Chain A
Amino acid sequence: MTEDPSNLSCHLFQERLPQMIGSGEDLASHPHLLGCPLCRALLADLETIAEAARQLFPVAEPPDDLWLQIESALQKEKTAQERDLESGA
């Protein structure tokens, strides 16, 4: 016996929502949504959030002295490697 999707409870529909959204399923004409304004509003909100996320977080500039820290760390690594080579020789 197959399940009638229009008879899904909100609980069951929302439980399955991550999988349905994640698999790229077109939910606009899902029978449950056609009769449920609450789940329709929920889905619309989630889509709005996902859409807005693409515009988030403009590029940020790291502090100027970060390069100096990286150079210093590289120098330490090099010195340690040379010391290891000498002690191994």
Chain B
Amino acid sequence: MADTPLDPESPKQTPRPPGEATASPVALAEALPVEPTGEAALILKVQSGDHLAFAELYSLHKRRIYSLCLRMVGNAAEAEDLTQETFLQLHRKIATFRGDSAFSTWLHRLAINAVLMQLRKRGLSLISMDEAMEPDPDTGSSRSFGAHDPALHGSIDRMALERAVRELPSGYRLVFILHDVEGYEHTEIAAMLDCSTGNCKSQLHKARLRLRDVLRSVPEQEAGR
């Protein structure tokens, strides 16, 4: 069997013992390779250069990818550019997709990489752990040690939180979105951002503290109107 030219990654090829081809129709049908269906079939078509299949794949995933980009950059025009870049990357790289992970996960990572590339071009840098608890350069205030401010009392206005997330500095927003919204682990985010997990935890904490500050000031602003 050593000379059997099977590609272990290929879903179309199933090893079969010699003589199986003369078995009963039922056994033969069971032994036949299973044709990919649904999205797997679509991906194979795209890999063979089918442009219509690529359009269909775009239709299936455009909302998820655009929404992800929009969350991460907080700007519609930029999210459009990044969605375009993600699908261009997909077109260039889909031949390398071997089905080791779910396609949606793979595409999700392409989109995140596109966003990170863009943010790095703009000079995104994560703040180090040492700086994480230093006074806030924007407000001049230090973190809320012992602050007697009103608590959130377990309820948050979703729109206010979304607004506050959009206004976070890009490094904080990125970690917050990846961890709290998208559900990635600190180790995964640290690998994506090329930073330590300690730094990642610190960024997330600072993002949540910043959001807390903003959300607690919302009722005050409303009362002042």
A-B contact count (CB 8 A): 117
> What's the tally of chain B residues with a CB closer than 8 Å to chain A?
52
> B212 near A66 (CB under 8 angstroms)?
no
* Contact, CB under 8 Å: A66 / B161: no
Interface: B144 (CB within 8 A): yes
B67 within 8 A of A: yes
Interface residue? A48 (CB, 8 A): yes
Q: Which residues of A contact B91 (CB under 8 A)?
A: 74
CB–CB B67/A63 < 8 A: no
**B165 located at the interface, meaning its Cβ lies under 8 Å from any Cβ of chain A in the complex:** yes
22 contacts between A and B (CB under 8 A): A11-B145, A14-B143, A21-B201, A22-B186, A22-B204, A42-B212, A45-B152, A45-B212, A46-B209, A48-B152, A49-B161, A50-B208, A52-B158, A54-B180, A54-B181, A55-B158, A56-B158, A56-B165, A56-B181, A57-B181, A63-B80, A69-B80
Partner-B contacts on A (CB < 8 A): 10-11, 14-15, 17-19, 21-23, 38, 41-42, 44-46, 48-50, 52-63, 66-67, 69-70, 73-74, 77
Nearest first, the 3 closest Cβ-Cβ pairs linking A and B are A22-B201, A18-B205, A53-B180
